[in-house]
Chain A
Amino acid sequence: MDVQTLTYIIVGLSFALYIGIAIWSRAGSTKEFYVAGGGVHPVVNGMATAADWMSAASFISLAGIVSFVGYDGSVYLMGWTGGYVLLALCMAPYLRKFGKFTVPDFVGERYYSQAARTVAVICAIFICFTYIAGQMRGVGVVFSRFLEVDVDTGVYIGMAVVFFYAVLGGMKGITYTQVAQYCVLIFAFMVPAIFLSVMMTGHIIPQIGFGAQLLDAAGNNSGVYLLEKLNNVSTELGFAPYTDGSKSMIDVFCITGALMVGTAGLPHVIVRFFTVPKVKDARISAGWALVFIAIMYTTVPALAAFSRVNMIETINGPDAKGVAYESAPDWIKNWEKTGLIKWNDKNGDGKIYYSSGKIEDAASKNEMKIDNDIIVLATPEIANLPAWVIALVAAGGLAAALSTSAGLLLVISTSVSHDLLKKNLMPNISDKKELMFARLAAGVGIVIAGYFGVNPPGFVAAVVAFAFGLAASSLFPAIIMGIFSKTMNKEGAIAGMLTGLLFTAGYIIYFKFVNPADNVAANWFLGISPEGIGMVGMLVNFGVAALVSRVTTATPQHVQEMVESIRFPKGSGEASGH
């Protein structure tokens, strides 16, 4: 069977599975729609959280980014896993004891203020929308390459599937569907990595192959370590050595910090820990989530290194002088059609050649432009793996995009129906009406996300920096101070959130949208790039909040008692007391 047919079969089967699960576990009440009935086992919840977390961006782009930037890619690896430690130790158990549905619920009650709740709702909705815009595009890209439909059609199919299980199923349907999606995506990610590891180093575990010696053509140890080879090749071609990177230390530090703290402040991740039965389960659930995430995230740098060596050797050939275009492998020509690979034969020798520099620049010898996003999708083709592996990777990319979209949509619909309508505008709304509005909001959310999928804003990467920066500088400090300080009052928290938010948003908007020409290290505050500024925004938030709370009225007694009561597990209610 050819790749095409296999892809239809494998993707079709996985979709049938997701939709089947969604129908089987339909949510009947608001409670089930929001928090899965509170009866989700920690391991199951951890797996669903991992699927929720690992988006199309992690599945498709992350290994590609690490592959191109080497050590600098560590910011994503440490940042997107380290945040779970903060979540588990400083947030999950206390928020679970607090026992409401959403992050704005906590902020609103802890700071006894409708204004604080509103600021939190706006942050939550904005963060989720920036995220989901990229997801629907991811679905479109995968479909367009593997099913040979155009990107727009791919987006429409994705919208229909997400609508089915997010809107009808609610959290209950999503949780079990996400477990299935995790299994599909991790299998799809690991298979090519293991294949490559065995082929190149003889080790079955990619994490070990990553540090091992390469095999020579006869299958014996060549005496050259994979990373040593990568460093040599990178230097020869004019790149920074793979294990050193080229970002400044302070920037690496701040980006890692902003991503860690931002992860811990993302509403669609936090809401997961409201769904487990007990405080004890919230603690261990974060641990399981990180186990499932780390299986992929520790494989990412290994896959990145394998693909890098493979790709350079395929393009530049055994003599490192380039390969004739006619005899170049099919994947290069296939991806050229999508525009994600470009070839510019500058020296007119009919050979493809890859090195540092831009292909438009006459002074550079580089003739190939290769997009980050193709590395994972193209790796099975680059390494000549069997056709079913290629089909599997397509199914995995879709699983990643769909699971994250569904989780985000649920937070959007909850924020609108619960936080905005029930707690703000229409306090007397019935449960049934609330559920209806939740589904309506999810529907509207899908349409908006689909719109951005069809008409991509062209600055997805910039918006993602935005989402993390805002989460780090607004929601995270408010939640942490709400738990660990009894004296933090509403004036302090609101002032902190607003200044943190304005500072971070202002900095990012200036460098990314208003004046992108200025976006170079020399103009940055202390050499910190817009991606890392959330770390500074967070400190600004903490500082302003502490100052303002000193000079304003004290926190009311009943709020102080509430803070005391969330600090220990005894007496936690059901997962979703309404």
Chain B
Amino acid sequence: MDKHPEVLLELNAVETWHGSLRALSDVSLTVPEGSITVILGNNGAGKSTLLNTILGVLEGQPKNGQISFQGTRIDRMATERIVRSGISYVPEGRRIFSELTVWENLKVGAYVQKDQLSTKKALERVCDFFPLLAERQSQAAGTLSGGEQQMLAIGRALMNGPRLLLLDEPSLGLAPILVRQVFDIISQIRDEGVTVLLVEQNARMALAVADEGLVLDSGELVVAGSASDLVDNAEVEELYMGAPSLPIK
């Protein structure tokens, strides 16, 4: 699309295996800079695997194919280096450090920041997004509510000043009002210039904020297009938006 001409992330024929099981086959996609791209699909379709593959968390994966970020190959790079190059990740289940304080969690998120000043700037920005985290900074993260933990997980991911933010099911387990809030924040993050790649089961909500949409089915990319096209796509509608709650195979 001409609104977002630059490609930030590109996957080319990516193939990932879980042991003897092929979890992703021949996945090629592009994520335009400054967009929100949502990946839809049922449980087990390979959505989380896709994010984990991009971040290099899975040992020896992808088995085949290339991943480039800002024109540089990142498949085969160590996760730490990929994060350092500007990709942040909010994992499924948030995985905050529950025994550490809110501030310490954010400090870990800023691990790749080179100096105190950029850490301080990132912190100010995160506190603008989430004033609540500033209030609770010396509280143990494990004592936060589910919604607050999700805010912390997103805040932590923003601490390294990423260009691309990967989010795995940020709405999972949250009350509807909080879901709306999380998606508002995701739009704001995009408006500040961070590209977002989002995995969601809450298709209706996700497509409402997204620019681009992709559908994964059994590890294969079956539909790709603009978010508005996907909303109108009858097949997608039937598969992923039929029931207001989550369709599970």
The finding on whether chains A and B are genuine partners in a shared complex, rather than unrelated, reads: no
A positions within 8 Å CB-CB of B: none
